[in-house]
């Protein structure tokens, strides 16, 4: 039953800057199945967005991408712009954090949705507009017929994000990458958008990648979670294990530092000391060691290998190991 849609192997992203080579992503691998949602969690500079911008061929000119990424039998990396343009928007689509800057301000909403249908599916403008209306209704835009002829600035933030999802879904992609899709939205609208994404994933058996910094966002939608730190995946596993009994000290610390609305509010929050590292100045060994309470000499000197267990954790001393 399981069908791998997107397969990423040993992906790396390096930037050449005036200050030298900056590694943004190292050794990132992921297999995304049909009907599965994988949550990618990390703080700023962890490399979570960079990994998927690389897959979509959206990185600036000074970035070098290594490794492989395949969508079915098609290679996404180094396949040339024409081949990439046939896949992007048709079989793999991406939505972004800020729906205002990602929609074209001078095009009506309907035209933006119809554009990819005309381009990829060869629909006539009339048919494409009819389908656009259909899509707007599917993403639960109220008053859809009127919205077709409106410009992005006439819509609210939540409405714009729905339009962006409609644009992404126009050609029935197998894979949807959502990069912080709800970070700019209010909690009530965030819940609406997340519930919509979960529903679309179920109905279309789409592969969904949900990039976020919020473990709560992941909990409602994702089946699996990858936690990134300093450009690497430090832990991955099923959402039940990852949010309930993670093994990597960073995942554990991240969970503890997040206040919940149902915890003991008088207990002090366990903050993680220090700050997330900049990719330009990564610590030696395990990148988390300067902030880790259990770090020793091995952590400082050697990059930890991925250890199998309840979850896969890249740590010299994972929880649950003897």
Partner 1 sequence: MNLLELQNLKVWFDVREGWRGRRALRAVDGVDLVLREGEALGIVGESGCGKSTLARAVLRLVPATTGRILWLGRAIEATSVAEMRPLRRGLQIVFQDPLASLDPRMTVGEIVAEPLRVHAPELDRAARRAAVVDMLARVGLPAESVNRYPHEFSGGQCQRIGIARAMVLRPKLLVCDEPVSALDVSIQAQIVNLLLELKREFGTSILFVSHNLAVVRRLCERVLVLYLGKPMELAETDDLYARPRHPYTRALLDAVPLPDPALQPARLNATLGGELPSPLAPPSGCVFRTRCPRAIDACASTVPEMREFADQSSGQARSIACLRAEEF
Choose the stretch contacting partner 1; rule: CB under 8 A; options: 54-62, 82-90, 146-154, 188-196: 188-196
DSSP string computed for 77-132: TTS-HHHHHHHBTTTEEEE-S-HHHHS-TTS-HHHHHHHHHHHHH---HHHHHHHH
**Residues in 265-284 that interact with partner 1 by CB under 8 A:** 265, 268-273, 275-276
CB of 231 to partner 1, least distance (A): 15
Question: What's phi and psi for 165, nearest 5 deg?
Answer: -65, -40
CA–CA distance, 26 with 63 (Å, rounded to integer): 13
Q: Which of 205/213 has CB closer to partner 1?
A: 213
Closest to partner 1 by CB, 56 or 295: 295
Choice between 114 and 315, CB closer to partner 1: 315
Nearest approach, Cβ of 111 to partner 1 (angstroms)? Answer: 23
Q: Which of 19, 82, 262, 308 binds partner 1 (CB under 8 A)?
A: 262
Instruction: Identify the CA nearest to 50 among candidates 23, 77, 72, 68.
Output: 23
What DSSP line would sit under 24-60, residue for residue? EEEEEEEEEETT-EEEEE--TTSSHHHHHHHHTT---
Binding of residue 294 to partner 1 (CB under 8 A): no
The yes or no reply on residue 23 touching partner 1 (CB under 8 A) is no
Least gap, CB of 3 to partner 1 (angstroms): 23
258 near partner 1, judged by CB under 8 A: yes
Q: List the one residue out of 179, 205, 218 whose CA is nearest residue 99.
A: 179
Q: Are strands 232-238 and 224-229 parallel, antiparallel or unpaired?
A: antiparallel
**200 near partner 1, rule: CB under 8 A:** no
Q: HSE-up of 206 (CA within 13 Å, CB side)?
A: 28
* Percent helix, strand and coil across the chain, each to the nearest 5: 35, 25, 40
**214: contact with partner 1 by CB under 8 A:** yes
Least distance to partner 1, CB of residue 222, Å: 8
Residue from 58, 63, 107, 189 touching partner 1 (CB under 8 A): that is 189
Restricted to residues 133-162, the positions that interact with partner 1 (CB under 8 A) are: 156, 158-159
- The Cα 279–Cα 276 span in angstroms is 9
CB of 226 to partner 1, least distance (A): 15
Query: Is 195 a binder of partner 1 (CB under 8 A)?
Result: yes
Q: Which residues bind partner 1 (CB under 8 A)?
A: 43-44, 156, 158-159, 186-192, 194-195, 198, 213-221, 239-240, 243-244, 253-255, 257-262, 265, 268-273, 275-276, 291
């Amino acid at each position: 039953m399981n069908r791998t849609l997107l397969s990423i192997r040993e992906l790396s992203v390096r930037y050449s800057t005036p200050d030298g080579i900056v590694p943004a992503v190292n050794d990132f691998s992921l297999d995304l199945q049909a009907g599965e949602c994988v949550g990618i969690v990390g703080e700023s500079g962890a490399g979570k967005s960079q990994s998927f911008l690389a897959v979509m061929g959206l990185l600036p000119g000074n970035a070098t991408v290594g490794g492989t990424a395949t969508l079915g039998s098609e290679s996404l990396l180094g396949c040339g712009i024409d081949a990439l343009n046939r896949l992007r928007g048709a079989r793999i689509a991406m939505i972004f954090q800020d729906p205002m800057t990602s929609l074209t301000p001078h095009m009506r909403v309907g035209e933006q949705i119809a554009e990819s249908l005309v381009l990829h599916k060869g629909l006539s403008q009339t048919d494409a507009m009819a389908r656009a209306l259909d899509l707007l209704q599917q993403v639960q835009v109220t008053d859809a017929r009127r919205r077709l002829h409106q410009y992005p600035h006439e819509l609210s933030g939540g409405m714009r994000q729905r339009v962006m999802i409609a644009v992404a879904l126009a050609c029935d992609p197998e894979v949807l990458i959502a990069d912080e899709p709800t970070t700019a939205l209010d909690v009530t609208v965030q819940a609406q958008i997340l519930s919509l994404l979960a529903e679309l994933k179920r109905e279309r058996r789409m592969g969904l990648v949900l990039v976020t910094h919020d473990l709560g966002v992941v909990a409602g939608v994702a089946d699996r979670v990858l936690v990134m730190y300093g450009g690497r995946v430090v832990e991955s596993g099923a959402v039940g294990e990852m949010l309930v009994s993670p093994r990597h000290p960073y995942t554990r610390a991240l969970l503890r530092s997040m206040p919940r609305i149902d915890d003991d509010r008088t207990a002090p929050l366990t903050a993680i000391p220090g700050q997330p590292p900049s990719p330009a100045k990564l610590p030696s060994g395990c990148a988390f060691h300067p902030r880790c309470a259990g770090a020793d000499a091995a952590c400082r000197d050697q990059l930890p290998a991925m250890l199998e267990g309840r979850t896969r954790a890249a740590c010299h001393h994972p929880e649950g190991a003897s």
